[in-house]
A and B are shown apart, each in its own frame.
Chain A
Amino acid sequence: MELTPNERFPYPDGNDPGNGALDLQALAESIDAKAQIQLTNFRTKLNKKMRVARLIGTGPNSIGANAFGDVFTMGAGQWSILIDTTGTFLLDASSLNGFGPEPGIFRVGCHLSSNPVGVVTANTYRELRISATVPTNDPSLFPANTTIKRSLSKVFEASTGFVSQTCELEFATLFPAQGANVVTTVNVEFQHGNTGSNVQLLASTLLYTYRVCDIEVL
């Protein structure tokens, strides 16, 4: 039995007994296995893991001034999943739960619309922040070393109350979900300077996370 130089497909050599049926079977199974690998790889690339959630109504009117809080909590009760291919039904689209242990590059983003529930404090800020605490060392070690990546959007309102803003963060993680001590954590947070009244999130506020691509472990 000989093998082709690259994909190692078998074929009979001059000294083989010439069992054509068995040779054909070996070749067919070999091609079958290679084809399965190709299909799996392309599907993994095309069926990108992602989770997108949107507010379908106004969030609780409980966001006080000058303190960062979690955007997912600020929209409690109003999130609707638009797509979730992670196999882990989870409304919090900023979580990496369900994305698996494979190293990868991720993008987390948020579009956020906000409005005071009462008095508008003119010209005050609205700040949307995304941060990722990413383990950087061997996941078997404790405590894990981490690095924090941040992205920020700061917009001032214009005496009308209503403000829309967007923020995104990309990061690479070698160990997105391997053990409680080395999990990459993502926070999407919001604060405002509207001291005249609380602020609430509006419908259409959007949270999304997806795996951009794999990354080689060097």
Chain B
Amino acid sequence: MPGTTTNFGFRYPLLGETIDATSWQNLAVDIDAVMTRINDLRTKAFHAPTASIGNTGSASLPINSATTVIADMLHNVVNWDTAGLTNIVGNPERINLTPGVWYARFTAGILQNTTTVQQATVYIREVGTGFIWAANSTSNITNPSSNVTGPLTVNAVVVYPAANSITGSVQWIGTGGPAHWTDINGSNLQVYRLREFLDV
């Protein structure tokens, strides 16, 4: 009956027991298992899941209603994706998140093709429910006749105990249109995971 170590139960022969190949194998196998656990944690620590989707020059998002519509930005390029979080062809508006706490940022490029813009807002929202994780507004108070707004950025800490998806969304209040949120000065939605929802 071998002895075992304090924390991980590595097996070793006791005094008087025969030391044979099995003794060495038991110890090696036990250490191997713990090293694998450590390596898994190391991988998580140094390779947090992250993704970024954005637009190239041809992408824009017309919005026809000036007051009530919140529209999801549609992206057409994956800037990076280390964990299979995106499906740019099938779901160009979203990033899919695994359970955990995520830091998300969305930037919408310049808003054009309007007569006036009174207020513009960018959102990070939940797919399906439209739940707002964060939003950021800007207003053209001193120059309400301006027809150019942005770029605008919003960031959020997003908490999901189960898998879910988020979008970057936009809204404007003003006259003219339909407005186009362009890629000028960049439009992108990106995330990285701060931690898993449960302790590892």
A positions within 8 Å CB-CB of B = 19-22, 24-25, 27-29, 31-33, 35-36, 38-39, 42-43, 45-48, 50, 52, 82-83, 85, 109, 111, 113, 123, 155-160, 163-166, 168, 204, 206, 208, 210
A126 CA to B135 CA, complexed, in Å: 14
- Residue pairs across A and B with Cβ atoms less than 8 A apart, 25 shown, are A19-B15, A20-B13, A20-B19, A21-B15, A24-B12, A25-B3, A28-B5, A32-B5, A33-B7, A36-B8, A38-B38, A46-B45, A46-B195, A47-B195, A48-B194, A52-B101, A82-B159, A155-B136, A155-B138, A158-B118, A158-B137, A164-B123, A206-B133, A206-B157, A210-B194
B12:A25 contact, CB within 8 angstroms: yes
Q: Which chain B residues lie closer than 8 Å to A113 at the CB level?
A: 132, 135
B197:A83 contact, CB within 8 angstroms: yes
A35:B19 contact, CB within 8 angstroms: no
Which interface class (under 10, 10 to 19, 20 to 34, 35 or more) fits B? 35 or more
A39:B135 contact, CB within 8 angstroms: no
A36, A50, A85, A164: which has the most chain B beta carbons within 10 Å? A164
Q: Is B155 an interface residue (CB 8 A)?
A: yes
Return the chain B residue nearest A32 by Cβ.
B5
B17:A21 contact, CB within 8 angstroms: yes
* 18 extra A-B contacts, CB within 8 A, seeds A109-B157, A160-B67, A210-B194: A25-B12, A25-B14, A28-B10, A32-B10, A36-B7, A50-B194, A50-B195, A111-B133, A113-B132, A123-B141, A157-B139, A164-B121, A164-B134, A165-B136, A166-B136, A166-B155, A166-B156, A210-B101
Q: Is B58 an interface residue (CB 8 A)?
A: no
B14:A21 contact, CB within 8 angstroms: yes
Segment with Cβ contacts to A, from B29-37, B71-79, B87-95: B29-37
Q: Is B59 an interface residue (CB 8 A)?
A: no
Q: Is B1 an interface residue (CB 8 A)?
A: no
B positions within 8 Å CB-CB of A = 3, 5-8, 10-17, 19, 23, 27, 31, 34-35, 37-38, 41-42, 44-45, 67, 101, 118-119, 121, 123, 131-141, 154-157, 159, 173, 194-197, 199-200
Our count of residue pairs bridging A and B at CB distance below 8 angstroms stands at 146
Q: Which chain B residues lie closer than 8 Å to A157 at the CB level?
A: 119, 139
A165 CA to B137 CA, complexed, in Å: 6
